[in-house]
A and B are shown apart, each in its own frame.
Chain A
Amino acid sequence: MKNILVIGATSAIAKQTIRLYAKQGANLHLMARDEEKLQTLAQDASIRGAASVTVQKLEVNDFDEHEKLIDNAFEKLMSVDVVLIAHGSLPDQQACQQHVSTTLREMNTNGLSTISLLTLLANKMENQGKGTIAVITSVAGDRGRQSNYVYGAAKGMLSIFLQGLRNRLFKKGVHVVDIKPGFVDTPMTADFPKGALWAKPETIAASIVKAVEKKTNTLYTPWFWMGIMLIIRNIPEFIFKKMKL
């Protein structure tokens, strides 16, 4: 039976991933900001087959609380097989350009809060000498674009942090997966017109569970984003800077 810790558990992708682990009969410890949603999620997961479910309110930008809450999570689960970090927000790029405070807040939510949590988690996992850390970043972190470079910068920072962490923890038997979803139809992206490239959270969730099992390093999901990003990363900057992306 697997022990799974999920941070940002009420996000659409996490919710679907939790369901898959629940179906496998896992022990779950779920953390998120909205306690009412956490309760709903916990009931749902236990009906779907989770062996046990515990919840913990977590405000990701309240950095001082992180250590206590991570300790608590490891006490609840005893040992942790998989950590999934899934929280995030989609910043209003225009607002970020106008207000430093908005930019910094978004950087905290999408980047630094995760780095704080990962720093604590990495040591715990290193001590334990096993398990997988899976973090949802974004294809937006592969290259800065005018339409959402604040979000992209935060996610890109995470991807580089994860590379280092993977390198460090490899010899300790701990694996690190960087999950880079493309466009996903979630409440976070509710206002976007949806085209053929958009995927359902269920699809992303299934690929995450598989990537954790197979110890994939970087997962582009759905798979075709690997090709799209290969092209985008390789457009020469003197052309890229003139593009409207």
Chain B
Amino acid sequence: MQISGWGQYPIVDATISQAHSKRKVSELLQTWTTDEESNPPQLIARGLGRSYGDSALAPHVLQTHHLNHFVEFNPMTGDITCSAGISFAEILELFVPRGWFLPVTPGTKFVTVGGAIASDVHGKNHHIDGCFSQHVSSLQIALATGEIVSCSPSEKPELFHATCGGMGLTGVIVQASFRLIAIESAFISEQTFKTANLKETLELFEEHEPSTYSVAWIDCLATGDKLGRSLLMLGEHTSSGELQAHKDRKLNVPVNMPSLLLNPYSIQAFNTLYYHKQTQQHSIRDVHYEPFFYPLDGIQNWNRLYGKKGFTQYQFVLPKSAGLEGMTRILQEIAKSKRGSFLAVLKAFGKGNDNLLSFPTEGYTLALDFKIDDKLFSFLDELDRIVLDYGGRLYLTKDVRMSEATFKQSYPNWEQFQAVRHQYGADQHFHSLQSKRLGL
């Protein structure tokens, strides 16, 4: 079957196997990895296919979204155990009405728990609460042999820290335990600041560090003194409003749009309008968690807006010290190239964690969507050089094209990661197109 990541590039032919139970995952792995007649298949687990590039693509894919049972819930503490194919959307649907919310959530709720751990996802509260995996107390993983083992920060910590952020390359995550946070309302008190340029944006992030949630949408085509002008949004859970879960989305992009739809003019127009949609310098309102955390989830298949050639999201982080200078350089390059992005999202990260391939480090991260065309990748190679110059790196979950050298330079723990994979026999069996490209 033909599959691709969220960016619809590349599209590859894969054999897909479904697992509806932990036992089935075990059995499948046992059969594949002990089959001596054929070469061991290159295998990767895949949940809802929301990683943008080629990290959940391989000749053989183990589909896990049917592995979706709740196992345990403690209504006193919010501790939950569930199988890895449960999506964040399902958790919210069930637990928001009971007064619980995810401790960390990425910009879409259509990710599985297993995928969130493998990508070590972060959210708008990274500067305070870290990554999702930092709220995981333990997980179960099916190793290449089919054996299911538990690991946690104290039990087999090396396996835990390789698996969290490990892009599925250590085995198949089948179950996880983590703690939800208590909320009184499904609403978020949102403050929006309109900033004139990048310096002001970064200063506001600093100033509002104690805010639980913060993120900025940045007009990536503005130049000169307006370079980096943004709408910075802060959020806090409120106590007013009901505990109502999100509703099903109504809009859909039924087919791929003509790729001309997104061109320098339409993107510039959108960015300018979006920036000016906010007329006041500062505003406060209560919004439901859905538009606050998941503005794009309201449009089903929005990835089709980029046309059939697909798109990629370029997300990098620069250390805090390099912040203003490095970001300025990159934004200048982008503005000069006229390759605007509809959505350019800027966020201040807090400290990194102990996971070997985790993306966030203290500093600033910027995420930009680019439509794929013949010249895009050479342009991104230029951006890579700037990112590396400033000691930054790219997010594996979004990546589809970085070079092995770039990866190995910017993820210094990769050798340790390989050693853990080797120790658990994962390096022979678990591979994605991405891991092959990055020399893992």
Contacts and interface: CB of A to CB of B under 8 A. Distances in A.
Interface stretch (B16-24, B40-48, B52-60, B430-438): B16-24
A184 to B, nearest CB: 13
A36 B26 CA distance: 14
B94 interface: yes
Contacts of B20: 12, 187
Contacts of B21: 36-37, 40
Interface stretch (A43-51, A133-141, A158-166, A212-220): A43-51
A12, A47, A190 pick with most chain B CB within 10 angstroms = A47
B72 interface: yes
Contacts, number: 30
Contact of B70 (A36, A44, A193): A44
A40 B18 contact: no
A48 B71 CA distance: 10
Interface string A22-65: 01000000000000110011011001110000000000000000
Nearest to A201: B66
A190 B69 contact: no
B9 interface: no
Contact of A48 (B1, B23, B94): B94
Contacts of B23: 36
Nearest to B93: A23
Contacts of B411: none
A40 B24 CA distance: 13
27 contacts: A12-B20, A12-B66, A23-B94, A36-B21, A36-B23, A37-B21, A40-B21, A40-B69, A40-B71, A43-B69, A43-B70, A43-B71, A43-B72, A44-B70, A44-B71, A47-B70, A47-B71, A47-B72, A47-B73, A47-B94, A48-B70, A49-B94, A187-B18, A187-B20, A187-B66, A190-B18, A193-B1
Give the dominant DSSP class at A's interface.
helix
Contacts of A48: 70, 94
A40 B20 CA distance: 11
A41 B20 CA distance: 12
A37 B83 CA distance: 13
Residue with the highest number of chain A CB atoms closer than 10 Å, among B1, B18, B70, B71: B70
B46 to A, nearest CB: 15
Interface string B63-102: 0001001111100000000000000000000100000000
A193 B13 CA distance: 13
Contacts of B94: 23, 47-49
Nearest to B75: A47
Interface string B221-262: 000000000000000000000000000000000000000000
A209 to B, nearest CB: 16
Interface in A63-99: none
Nearest to A187: B20
A183 B111 CA distance: 26
Nearest to B16: A190
Contacts of B1: 193
A217 to B, nearest CB: 28
Contacts of A193: 1
